[in-house]
A and B are shown apart, each in its own frame.
Chain A
């Protein structure tokens, strides 16, 4: 068992080694280990404005994904709806982003826009995060005993009150996970941003341009700052998950007390 763990940890090390090495490089310069590149990149106005815009767009994508994927995932409780939603998320999720984004871009032009804009960008990014959001909710619903919903119907509760009083409270951790995951996916997405951002420059485009040209070493800091953002969000999720698990355990303890 210990050998298995060691092998798994080595594998994990292999997956994360390049990102860790980039992080280390971001502190290295002729003066030794300093924050020089970080200060340098923060003085770059294009980087800062791209960072702010990307954060706002990603938050909008996160919020839209939570709402839409929650509604679509309720198809779990109806066989026919489930088949439709499954086909939808598979087709939208698996079609290459370059082709889907161009289709959306052409649609924008067909309805009178000269080119894509932030609305179509958010739609394109939601199409990317939606399948993952729906799968997250379905994974949660799998563990919610169907008899709870049957019992709620038996005591006369209607659809909306079952949603508000049964399904939503049981899915609160998934809602948080869905928002954070969608936020991060949208924050770091490149192909859809490239085709749909129109005249705006988002962080992934900025980074891709800089990394392709290898312009200056401050790009290590810019790249590392996105990794840092992902680490913070993931760590935040783990903390929320642990707090939620602890609260649930406390509630169960209180309910079982005489």
Chain B
């Protein structure tokens, strides 16, 4: 059974095509660039990216991504649990299909659309003003709330897909036994769904973190005082011809992804152990 259906050389060749840009990123991170291109070994890229100014920018991007990932993971899991409890396959298909729509829309169009809804005279502030009975301007282009809300809402679909797939693959016997024991919905959530979805929650957090880290149109369109985003950082390094710093950042992120993969294996094996 474990005999491969496809030759490993073919898989290796396809992988090579996509590994080449990665290899370029990692190797060029250690080069200095002259007028015509790279010329020699240098650690300039790393020292620039680790300078106080760049570290401050990266800290803002990372903190925002962590906040977005944590919120999106929690909300997505609750949405998946509700979907799972509703139980209807038709409703699930309808919900997941419609939920993919914003995710499949053009990034600029999607954020531009949010700009209208979250503007000072937009729907959200109008609703809040009506509820609070005054002139509420909570959502505006001068704070980071618009950026955070839209980033979270953009990341939730990824978390919902991962968590729903995880809940769907929990062996049916768990739900049958919990029904036989007359467990309440909350107990089922806390004692079965949450512990058995440890891997999904971890995967959901990691995926949404990296997506949120890369999202930049939200910052450019929806404001926030600082306008700090990954794309603006990359463009500012490009305009200063500091390509090696961009690639140094890429190399560090590749390392981070590999570390997350190794940690994922640990989480997965610990969950399998606890299940057995």
Please choose the segment from B130-138, B190-198, B244-252 that sits at the chain A interface, where 4 or more of its residues have CB less than 8 A away.
B244-252
Which residues of B174-195 are within 8 A (CB) of A? none
A226 touches B214 (CB 8 A): no
Q: Looking at the assembled complex, report how far the CB atom of B12 sits from the nearest CB atom of chain A, in whole angstroms.
A: 8
A16: B residues at CB distance < 8 A: 98, 101-102
Scoring A81, A110, A146 by chain B CB atoms within 10 A of each residue's CB, the highest score goes to A81
State in angstroms the CA–CA spacing of A207 and B109 once bound together: 7
**Given A18-B117, A99-B253, A8 contacting B217 (CB threshold 8 A):** no
A108-149 vs B, CB cutoff 8 Å, 1 = contact: the mask equals 011000000000000100010010000000010010001001
Which residues of B148-197 are within 8 A (CB) of A? 153, 156-157, 165, 169
Q: Looking at the assembled complex, report how far the CB atom of B207 sits from the nearest CB atom of chain A, in whole angstroms.
A: 7
B-side interface residues, number (CB < 8 Å): 77
Q: Which residue of B lies closest to A234 (CB)?
A: B97
Q: Which residue of A lies closest to B251 (CB)?
A: A99
Indicate the size class of the contact surface on chain A. 35 or more
Q: Looking at the assembled complex, report how far the CB atom of A187 sits from the nearest CB atom of chain B, in whole angstroms.
A: 8
**With an 8 A cutoff between CB atoms, is B210 at the interface?**
yes
B15 touches A184 (CB 8 A): no
B77-93 vs A, CB cutoff 8 Å, 1 = contact: the mask equals 00100110111000101
A94: B residues at CB distance < 8 A: 206-207, 210, 257
B116: A residues at CB distance < 8 A: 18, 21-22, 25
State in angstroms the CA–CA spacing of A142 and B91 once bound together: 22
Contact of A5 among B19, B91, B100 (CB under 8 A): B91
Main secondary structure of the interface of B (DSSP, over half): helix
Query: What number of residue pairs across chains A and B have CB atoms under 8 A from each other?
Result: 237
B275: A residues at CB distance < 8 A: none
B194-209 vs A, CB cutoff 8 Å, 1 = contact: the mask equals 0000000000001100
**With an 8 A cutoff between CB atoms, is A170 at the interface?**
no
A244: B residues at CB distance < 8 A: none
Q: Looking at the assembled complex, report how far the CB atom of B50 sits from the nearest CB atom of chain A, in whole angstroms.
A: 16
Q: Looking at the assembled complex, report how far the CB atom of B275 sits from the nearest CB atom of chain A, in whole angstroms.
A: 17
Contact of A8 among B19, B20, B95, B258 (CB under 8 A): B95
Q: Which residue of A lies closest to B107 (CB)?
A: A190
A155-172 vs B, CB cutoff 8 Å, 1 = contact: the mask equals 000010011000100000
A79-111 vs B, CB cutoff 8 Å, 1 = contact: the mask equals 111001111101110111111101110110110
Which residues of A174-205 are within 8 A (CB) of B? 181, 184-185, 188-191, 203-204
State in angstroms the CA–CA spacing of A80 and B5 once bound together: 12
Interface, chain A (partner B; CB < 8 A)? 1, 4-5, 7-8, 11-12, 14-19, 21-22, 25, 68, 71-72, 74-75, 77-81, 84-88, 90-92, 94-100, 102-104, 106-107, 109-110, 123, 127, 130, 139, 142, 146, 149-150, 153, 159, 162-163, 167, 181, 184-185, 188-191, 203-204, 207-208, 211-212, 223, 226-227, 230-231, 234, 237-238, 241
Interface, chain B (partner A; CB < 8 A)? 1-6, 8, 10-11, 14-15, 17-22, 24-25, 28, 37, 79, 82-83, 85-87, 91, 93, 95, 97-102, 104-110, 112-114, 116-117, 123, 153, 156-157, 165, 169, 206-207, 210, 213-214, 216-217, 220-221, 230-231, 234, 238, 243, 246-247, 249-250, 253-254, 257-258, 261
